[in-house]
Amino acid sequence: MSHIPLPVAQQVSQEALFQHVLNDPLLGSSIYVNIALAGLTLLVFVAMARGLVDPRAKLIAVSVIGISAVSIASYTGLASGLTISVLEMPAGHAMDGAVTELAHSGDTVDGTISLWGRYLTWALSTPLILLALGLIAGSNLTKIVTAILFDIGVMITGLAAALTTSSYAMRWVWYGISVTFFLVVIYIILFEWPRDARAAGTADIFNTLKVLTVVLWFGYTIWWGLGNEGLALIESVGLTSWGYSAFDVLAKYLFSFLVLRYVVNNVETVSGGPNFGRTRPGRNED
């Protein structure tokens, strides 16, 4: 048997990635601005929801407040370098052979930067968006759980697409699986929940949230295809990251604000009554 020396992949330390983010104004700002916004919106949303008593209204409020909370953790993971890697793309990828210059030291390393922590934490934040949306639509548990399960599938297979370096084709196979799951979620949002919302008397607000969500979520999907991890029509990591950060402002914070404002002003419409969620007869039924 002959000995074949394996090519050794360079390891970029977490500290180097932390310093790189800190010293690259475009990439850094796309992360730090969102930590600040997530913190600010968290405080504003808690203040807006303070007076709520109804349990179902509170559940909707908790789900949107949770989006900002997850966001702080998500962007902190990126800022700290914990959920960022330098990946060497496989042959066929536009970034194959790319090198990255580290902003703080000027050193160059082989590969392009992946902010893969985003896809991981979307698996936590997007279910909260869907929970709020499904509850506003007055939908049932089956449809809400179906949407959420397939949505988690979208994000985890999206993470797989980003992290696969074995083969260019396999990256797009993962992307294809992710998009297929995504279409299930879109079907529920576009064809199931609008009917439920009409029956629940929330069609107006649901329609606004539906358009906002569907347009932006397709935006994320297309942006991945255009960014440095996809076709690399946009090669800049900072610009790719800013695209997601800008979508986030609308898909998370504007979305949450619209939901909370509606819930606070329409508690009667979204209420499930004081016994909502009980598994045993409550005192009000005696």
Cβ 70 to ligand RET, closest distance in Å? Answer: 7
Q: Which is nearer to ligand RET, 134 or 158 (CB)?
A: 158
Beta strands in 15-155 (DSSP E): 85-87, 99-101, 108-110, 112-114
Burial of 14 (0-12, 13-18, 19+ CB in 10 A): middle
Q: Closer to ligand RET at the Cβ: 182 or 262?
A: 182
Minimum Å gap between C-beta 155 and ligand RET is: 6
Q: Do residues 56 and 271 touch, judged by C-beta distance below 8 A? A: yes
Q: Which residue is nearest to ligand RET (CB)?
A: 158
Residue carrying the six token digits 């703080």: 104
Q: Which residues are within 8 A (CB) of 31 and not within 5 positions of it... i.e. 6 or more apart? A: 21, 75, 78, 79, 241, 245
- Which residues are 194's β-sheet partners? none
Residues that bind ligand RET (CB under 6 A): 119, 122, 125-126, 129, 154-155, 158, 161, 175, 178-179, 182, 217, 220-221, 224, 248, 251-252
What are the angstrom distances between the C-alpha of 137 and each of 150, 154, 184, 187, 191? 18, 22, 17, 14, 12
Report the nearest approach of ligand RET to the CB of residue 45 (Å). Answer: 15
Q: Which is nearer to ligand RET, 54 or 122 (CB)?
A: 122
CB of 122 to ligand RET, least distance (A): 5
The distance of closest approach from Cβ of residue 78 to ligand RET in the complex, given in angstroms and rounded to an integer, is: 13
Sole residue written with tokens 């009980």:
278
CB closer to ligand RET, 52 vs 186: 186
**Cβ closer to ligand RET: 20 or 171?**
171
Q: Which is nearer to ligand RET, 28 or 230 (CB)?
A: 230
Distances (CA, A) of 162 to 35, 86, 119, 146: 23, 11, 8, 24
CB of 244 to ligand RET, least distance (A): 8
The residue written with tokens 């799951």 in the block is 181
